[in-house]
């Protein structure tokens, strides 16, 4: 017999192959437009991928938020919706699931993550206070600012370097934090804003040791810690894979321990929890809970639905349980790792190490000839759509917005284009198409020119801003 010519993907990586821990029961057809059609679509969208119609997109990597595939059980849960205005049984199922897997005492449901950010910011920030955190997130920081707070970045320095291989680039730099506390006084700190797998840093995790040390510091100065738990299950998986002493613990156990070092959390359930809409806020302090429960009825809905339908809460309760399953989480994160490994192997500049939910293309290295105020990451997102109908998102100077004091652009060190992978939606073949398209752009990068902004909204300008080619 002749030597076999072909290798499976596992063999190419020197391991036994594994496959997704699910099979497909229903499909949603997608199509690729012609180059001319895509050209028209991206011009109509002002080079902003948020303004494209989803029907014009071939592989949609705009976000992993609300774009996940629900399981048959979650869909069955939809039929069990108890649409009572008050006291829906689905709320109690959600409360139980949160307590079992996150361990907080009290739950306030919200329509999505930013609803929860709004409530916690209004409740615990006094105007003039600081909110230190491990890198900003757009909506989180905006709500902190709207409540009169000032966000202060205290993430480790390594997080700002796209090629640094630190395994926990989401960690808080405890020295930076303590300096701020000593300089301003503990009473000027509203709380510590900790995010599990830091979105804007490339989906980088926080170690358990860092969370523990943060707790000690919080106790010493009497400062509370609130967790953005949006992708904390993915954070727990990285701890299991990378941190000494956690290899034999389940993701569920790790998540519970991680949360135990914090005083509460907010959640965009549209990510880890595998639903299309939903969120929550949870705290341990009874008095704070009372305050939040009063606020939620003003802005979201009654405290037993908070803007969600009963059926949404049921799908979410089931999603929480599925999200901490070790087989699920490893296949989810490893799919992202697979895409990243090939990109790195092919010399495409990406943020390293590869995070949990997305590949972040390093637009500065991609287009060194395009200055930051000509929006290289926006250019890259636009070009990727034009080349192959793949939709990503700008995460650079446009996302960073303007400094409220000076009015000038904020110039972030990271100028990234994010390709976020929805959970349980795309296969390995889709990942292969993505990496080949990106390589094509990389090979032809020198011809590409910058953009100018022709329409700029005041808040969160990346959502609706418009651009023209230079």
Please answer whether residues 396 and 416 qualify as being in contact, where contact means their C-beta atoms are separated by less than 8 angstroms: yes
Q: Which among 1-9, 34-42, 112-120, 435-443 is the span making contact with ligand P70, rule CB under 6 A?
A: 112-120
Distance of alpha carbon 266 from alpha carbon 269, whole angstroms: 9
For ligand P70, the closer of residues 181 and 259 by Cβ is 259
Helix (H) or strand (E) holding 437: helix 428-443
Catalytic residues: 85, 137-138, 228, 271, 395, 462
Position 241 contacts ligand P70 (CB under 6 A): no
Distance of alpha carbon 425 from alpha carbon 464, whole angstroms: 26
For ligand P70, the closer of residues 249 and 273 by Cβ is 273
Measured from the CB of residue 139, what is the shortest distance to ligand P70 in angstroms? Answer: 5
For ligand P70, the closer of residues 199 and 438 by Cβ is 199
Q: Where are the beta strands (DSSP E) in 278-420?
A: 279-283, 358-362, 390-391, 393-395, 416-420
At 204 the three-state DSSP class reads: strand
Helices (H) and strands (E) in the chain, counts: 18, 14
- The interface with ligand P70 within residues 247-306 (CB under 6 A) comprises 268, 270, 279
Please answer whether residues 58 and 32 qualify as being in contact, where contact means their C-beta atoms are separated by less than 8 angstroms: yes
Helix (H) or strand (E) holding 321: helix 310-323
Q: Which among 18-26, 74-82, 137-145, 215-223 is the span making contact with ligand P70, rule CB under 6 A?
A: 137-145
Measured from the CB of residue 398, what is the shortest distance to ligand P70 in angstroms? Answer: 11
Position 112 contacts ligand P70 (CB under 6 A): yes
For ligand P70, the closer of residues 42 and 198 by Cβ is 198
Measured from the CB of residue 447, what is the shortest distance to ligand P70 in angstroms? Answer: 29
Please answer whether residues 452 and 374 qualify as being in contact, where contact means their C-beta atoms are separated by less than 8 angstroms: yes
Q: Which residue has the tokens 């090979």?
A: 443
Please answer whether residues 94 and 316 qualify as being in contact, where contact means their C-beta atoms are separated by less than 8 angstroms: yes
Among 90, 138, 193, 204, binds ligand P70 (CB under 6 A): 138
Position 412 contacts ligand P70 (CB under 6 A): no
For ligand P70, the closer of residues 29 and 404 by Cβ is 404
* Structure-token pair, residue 68: 């996940």
DSSP state, 177? H
Position 139 contacts ligand P70 (CB under 6 A): yes
Among 158, 173, 228, 362, binds ligand P70 (CB under 6 A): 228
Position 63 contacts ligand P70 (CB under 6 A): yes
Q: Which among 106-114, 145-153, 161-169, 408-416 is the span making contact with ligand P70, rule CB under 6 A?
A: 106-114
For ligand P70, the closer of residues 93 and 112 by Cβ is 112
Position 137 contacts ligand P70 (CB under 6 A): yes
- The interface with ligand P70 within residues 170-199 (CB under 6 A) comprises 195, 199
SS (H, E, C) 68-125: CCCCHHHHHHHCCCCCCCCCCHHHHHHHHHHHHHHCCCEEEEECCHHHHHHHHHHHHC
Among 65, 93, 144, 382, binds ligand P70 (CB under 6 A): 65
Q: Which residues bind ligand P70 (CB under 6 A)?
A: 63, 65, 112-114, 137-140, 195, 199, 228, 230, 268, 270, 279, 420
């Amino acid at each position: 017999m002749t030597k076999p010519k072909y290798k499976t993907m596992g063999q190419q990586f020197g391991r036994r192959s594994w496959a997704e821990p699910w099979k497909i029961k229903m499909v949603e057809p997608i199509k690729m437009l012609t180059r001319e059609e895509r050209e028209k679509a991206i011009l109509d969208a002002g080079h902003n991928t948020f303004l494209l119609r989803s029907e014009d997109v071939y592989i949609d990597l705009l976000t992993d938020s609300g774009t996940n595939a629900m399981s048959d059980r979650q869909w069955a849960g939809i039929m069990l919706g108890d649409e009572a205005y008050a006291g829906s049984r689905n709320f109690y199922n959600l409360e139980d699931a949160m307590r079992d897997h996150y361990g907080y005492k009290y739950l306030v449901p919200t329509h999505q993550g930013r609803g929860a950010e709004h409530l916690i910011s209004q409740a615990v920030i006094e105007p003039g206070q600081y909110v230190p955190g491990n890198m900003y997130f757009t909506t989180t920081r905006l709500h902190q600012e709207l409540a009169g707070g000032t966000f202060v970045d205290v993430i480790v320095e390594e997080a700002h370097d796209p090629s640094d291989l630190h395994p926990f680039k989401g960690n808080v730099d405890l020295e930076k934090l303590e300096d701020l506390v000593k300089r301003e006084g503990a009473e000027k700190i509203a709380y510590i804003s900790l995010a599990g797998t830091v979105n804007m840093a490339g989906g980088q995790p926080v170690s358990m040791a860092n969370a523990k040390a943060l707790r000690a510091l919080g106790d010493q100065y009497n400062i509370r810690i609130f967790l953005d738990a949006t992708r904390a299950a993915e954070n727990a998986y990285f701890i299991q894979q990378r941190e000494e002493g956690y290899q034999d613990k389940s993701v569920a156990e790790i998540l519970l321990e991680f949360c135990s070092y914090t005083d509460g959390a907010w959640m965009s359930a549209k990510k880890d929890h595998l639903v299309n809409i939903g969120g929550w806020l949870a705290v341990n302090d009874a008095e704070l809970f009372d305050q939040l429960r009063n606020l939620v009825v003003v802005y979201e809905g009654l405290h037993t639905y908070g803007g969600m339908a009963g059926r949404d809460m049921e799908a979410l309760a089931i999603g929480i349980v599925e999200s901490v399953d070790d087989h699920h989480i490893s296949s989810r994160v490893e799919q992202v790792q697979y895409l990243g490994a090939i990109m790195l192997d092919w010399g495409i500049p990406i943020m390293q190490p590869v995070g949990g939910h997305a590949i972040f293309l390093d637009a500065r290295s991609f287009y060194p000839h395009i200055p930051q105020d000509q929006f290289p990451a926006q250019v890259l997102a636009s070009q990727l759509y034009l080349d192959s109908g793949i939709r990503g998102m700008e995460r650079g100077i446009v996302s960073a917005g303007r400094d409220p004091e000076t009015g000038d652009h904020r110039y972030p060190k990271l100028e990234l284009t994010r390709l976020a992978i929805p959970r349980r939606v795309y296969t390995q073949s889709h990942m292969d198409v993505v990496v080949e398209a990106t390589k094509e752009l990389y090979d032809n990068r020198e011809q590409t020119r910058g953009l100018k902004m022709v329409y700029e909204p005041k808040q969160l300008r990346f959502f609706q801003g418009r651009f023209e080619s230079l």
